[in-house]
Amino acid sequence: MEHAIEEEHVKTLSMNENKKMQVKNFIWSKEEWPTLKHDDFGDVEDDIPVISLNNRVRDNDDQQVYDNLCNVMVKASEDWGFFKLVDHGVSSDIVENYITRLHELFDLPMEQKLKGGKTSSLPLGYYASNPEYGENLPWAEVLQLLQSPEMVVEFAKKVYGDQYHTFSNAMIEYMKEMDKLGMVIFKMLAHGLGLEDDFFFSKNFEEKEATYFRVSRYPPCPLPEKIVGIGIHSDPQTLTILHQDQVGGLQVLKDDKQWIGVSPLPNSFVINIGDTLEAWTNGRLKSVIHRAVVNKEKQRLSIAYFMSPTSNAIIECPPQLIHPIYNPRKYVPFTWAQLRHLLLTTRRVRGKAIALNKFLISN
Ligand SMILES: O=C(O)CCC(=O)C(=O)O
Ligand SMILES: [Fe+2]
């Protein structure tokens, strides 16, 4: 039985008609096999912090309420490395419209999607799988683009020709909302940490091209016990604003030992702390190790919007967060450009980016 499943062709994820992928090509190495099902949430899930922005509290509202909320956000980022965000002020129309356009895109024939595939002029774009990609293939089709309206338009024109507006407008509108929300979160984290309010955000996104995002659509999978949507990793950037639909599949590793399913919550985002923010705060805020598992019945869509610092911003923990004895400086100052270069050239192992270790102060 299992054997027959493994021989099945995987049409939705094969980029090359002549080299059809089979289920067995997607089987992951054993240590990556998920122990929890996509809809297994358990009791600990109830403890995952849910933070309400009350549709964007402002710092000129009641100061104590604001201070408290910022502290709660910092605490969640220290203890969990992520939290759910509700009443975040992003219009559900903008989110829903973008999701509809994304499903329309992924529903197109492979041939048409590949018009927006990676090329030298478009270094990012649409992709699924190819046998040449090697082992541990993600069970997903992906759209990955830089957060640049020009690139979004270029991509949309390639796929839709003259009819590109509907798609590119939906995407650009969504990106603008993410930028605004990211700034609010950076400001709150800085405030909660006792730093200048603009400490993080003034060093993020002056250069839009530094940020990119990834949309993944995971089709139903006949062998979810041995195949993974996205393997175990933490996001290397500063913050990720993640939108997941109502299917379930995001799982996080709590305290380096326990996998927890993150249940979908309508109208919410999941905010992940990335490796760079961990280094920037000398390890006080923790980046979260996570993965996406798949299931037999339902396709699932997730949108990950990765906030990255400006290329030349210097990532250096401010003295307020350092203690010479109890919490000595862990990293030499580095730039996002340096780390990004290392990320491209260093093999990623399970979990956090080992590239960051290059900047560790050895003592
Ligand atoms: O699909 C998900 O929920 C997670 C996606 C993710 O972790 C990523 O794209 O980095
Ligand atoms: Fe991720």
Ligand 2 centroid from CA 185, angstroms:
18
307 class by beta-carbon count within 10 Å (0-12 exposed, 13-18 middle, 19+ buried): buried
- Residues whose CB is less than 8 angstroms from the CB of residue 313 and which lie 6 or more positions away in sequence, other chains included: 203, 204, 335, 336
Helix (H) or strand (E) holding 307: strand 300-307
Ligand 2 centroid from CA 71, angstroms:
24
pLDDT, mean over the chain:
91
- Residues whose CB is less than 8 angstroms from the CB of residue 228 and which lie 6 or more positions away in sequence, other chains included: 28, 32, 33, 34, 136, 138, 139, 291, 292, 293, 294
Cβ of 276 below 6 Å from ligand 1: no
Question: What is the pLDDT averaged over residues 226-236?
Answer: 94
- Which of 230, 238, 247 should be mutated for ligand 1, with most atoms under 8 A from CB? 230
Across 238-266, b (16+ Cβ under 10 Å) vs e yields: bbbbbbbbebbbbbbbbeeeebbbbbbee
Of the ranges 18-27, 44-53, 192-201, 265-274, the best mean pLDDT one? 265-274
CA dist., res. 263 & res. 251, Å (int):
9
The two three-digit tokens of residue 32, written as one number = 């990556």
Proportion of the chain in helix, strand, coil states, percent, rounded to 5: 35, 20, 40
Percent of the chain scoring above 70 in pLDDT: 93
- Which of 139, 216, 263 should be mutated for ligand 1, with most atoms under 8 A from CB? 216
Per-residue pLDDT tens over the stretch 276-307: 999 999 999 999 999 999 999 999 999 999 99
Strand order in the sheet with 300-307: 50-52, 82-86, 269-273, 239-244, 300-307, 212-218, 141-146, 125-127
Cβ of 235 below 6 Å from ligand 1: yes
* ipTM score of complex: 0.99
Question: What is the pLDDT averaged over residues 78-83?
Answer: 97
Question: What is the pLDDT averaged over residues 25-50?
Answer: 93
Q: Which atom of ligand 1 lies nearest, measured to the CA of 300?
A: 1
pTM assigned to the model: 0.95
Give the position of tokens 């993150």: 262
Cβ of 244 below 6 Å from ligand 1: yes
57 pLDDT tier (thresholds 50, 70, 90)? low
Does the pLDDT of residue 243 top 60, yes or no? Answer: yes
pLDDT at 363: 52
Q: Which atom of ligand 1 lies nearest, measured to the CA of 304?
A: 9
pLDDT at 51: 97
Does the pLDDT of residue 5 top 70, yes or no? Answer: yes
